[in-house]
Chains A and B, each alone.
Chain A
Amino acid sequence: MSGVPMEHGLVLASILFALGIAGLICRRNMVFVLMSLEIMLNAAALAFIVGGTAWGQPEGQAMFLLVITLAAAEASVGLALLIQLHHRYKTLDVDAANRMHG
């Protein structure tokens, strides 16, 4: 056996994505919601890398760089929103912020 079939890498990415989406739906604490989003973005990046290495092209790693940029931007904005949520409602429950006061 030489080499990994491409399907195995894509299945690993799908498992990580499904775990991330399950965590995103189940949890109400915003810290865990943001961590699940990171898991999902990481799974998408893994799928890009698998595709790029399967064809032997460097575009997969270039797309990985863009995904990591997006993850950094998302994490910074999400954590700023988390700090605001904790500051105003004294809780991390995302359902506490279900009323928009404008």
Chain B
Amino acid sequence: MEIAFYLSGLVAVLATLGVITNTNPVHALLYLIVSLIAVALVFCALGAPFAGALEVIVYAGAIMVLFVFVVMMLNLSDTVEAQERAWLKPRIWLGPSVLSGVLLLTLIAILWLGDGGRVIEGETLTAKAVGSILFGPWLLVVELAAMLLLAALVTASHVGRLSSPAGSAGRREPDARKEAS
């Protein structure tokens, strides 16, 4: 269990480095899928197999497929890759990387100096306990999550419309007003 945790954590960190340093969007997406699957293995190693399965199904399955479809639809060519390579100079990424590295060191120092000492034994928390929490005392939160998803659905279907009749009508409206006056 410990070996699984450390190995998959290492894979997750390396794949995430691959995501943020890659210039090709499709390769970066594939690295991100590897990173998510590694995090799912971390969940399984820690004793949360339900969360690991959900991570694979929802994150690596659904959300990443959405990203892949959008990247395919936009038809990003080699010019995008060349532009990314031009933008990704050390002069640009050095400052933010140093700053976030300092923040990371501060966070790790706070974690190390805190009163920890708790050890994760890896006993399995099943989906039954999670379900009885969610549909018992946390029912209102589940309803709120459902409303959030509904709002996201409405927003995405409104914003993502390409040939928007509302936009062209809004553009035509001043002319119509001019003609009316």
User: Could you tell me which A residues sit within 8 Å of B by CB distance?
Assistant: 1-12, 14-23, 25-29, 31-32, 34-36, 38-39, 42, 45-46, 49-50, 52-62, 64-66, 68-77, 79-84, 86-87, 92
Contacts and interface: CB of A to CB of B under 8 A. Distances in A.
A84 B159 contact: yes
A18 B133 contact: no
Contact of B42 (A18, A27, A46): A46
A59 B133 contact: yes
B66 A75 contact: yes
Contacts of A34: 67
A27 B108 CA distance: 25
Interface residues of B, number: 86
B121 A22 contact: no
A83 B67 CA distance: 11
B148 A73 contact: yes
Question: B interface, by DSSP: helix, strand, loop or mixed?
Answer: helix
B176 interface: no
Given A27-B20, A52-B48, A72-B149, A14 B66 contact: no
A62 B48 contact: no
A65 B54 contact: yes
B117 to A, nearest CB: 8
B25 A19 contact: no
Given A49-B51, A70-B148, 17 more contacts: A4-B119, A14-B108, A19-B13, A31-B28, A35-B29, A35-B32, A35-B67, A45-B55, A53-B47, A53-B122, A62-B134, A62-B138, A65-B134, A72-B149, A77-B152, A86-B74, A87-B162
Contacts of B157: 80
A82 B70 contact: yes
Contact of A77 (B2, B87, B93, B156): B156
Contacts of B82: none
Contacts of B122: 3-4, 53
B175 to A, nearest CB: 17
A19 B17 contact: yes
A14 B125 contact: no
